[in-house]
Amino acid sequence: MGNLPIKKWNIRQKYLNSLIITGLLLLITLLMQQTVAQPLPMKEQNIEIVMRQAQAWSEQDVQVIANDFAEDAVFIAAGFKFQGKQQIKQAAQNYFQQFHHTSVKIKRIVIEGKQGAVEWDWRDQERKTGKKGYAEDAIIFELENNKIIYWREYIEKQKV
């Protein structure tokens, strides 16, 4: 009879432990689902767009380049101003007709709210002449509703 209370205690303790473990597993599962379901915070979204742009230019993916821009976006670079998504897409297509082997290496991204800046190194090669190009590029951009509405490049061409 002396062991009976201990046995009851052990059974209760095991039951309680299994309830705690089950509860913790349920909580972890719910937290993981919530984390996956939530959109990225604005800073991470902006960084993701910059990285996607760098990759799209490197891969000559005009559609991905254009998809990140709002319908009425402004793109300014090296004396050119393109107004609207369609002009920006056409400008990218024209660029890729003249240049290939484009590579973009991001050096720095700075994000402040829905605005940001990026510094990247740009390399390409003229299709016609084979001449290689290199530029250090600084870009100021602004986003609205996860789309680029303003993109201005300050390009410093370097001798290769």
Q: Is the pLDDT of residue 64 over 90?
A: yes
CATH number at residue 103: 3.10.450.50
Give the pLDDT band of residue 45 (cuts 50, 70, 90): confident
Q: Model confidence over 76-116: pLDDT tens digits?
A: 998 899 999 999 999 999 999 999 999 999 999 999 989 99
CA distances (Å), origin 5, targets 12, 13, 14, 86, 156: 10, 12, 14, 80, 83
Tell whether 55 and 69 lie within a shared domain: yes
Tell whether 87 and 139 lie within a shared domain: yes
132-144 and 80-83 as β-strands: parallel, antiparallel, unpaired?
unpaired
What pLDDT is stored for residue 141 in this prediction? 96
Tell whether 47 and 79 lie within a shared domain: yes
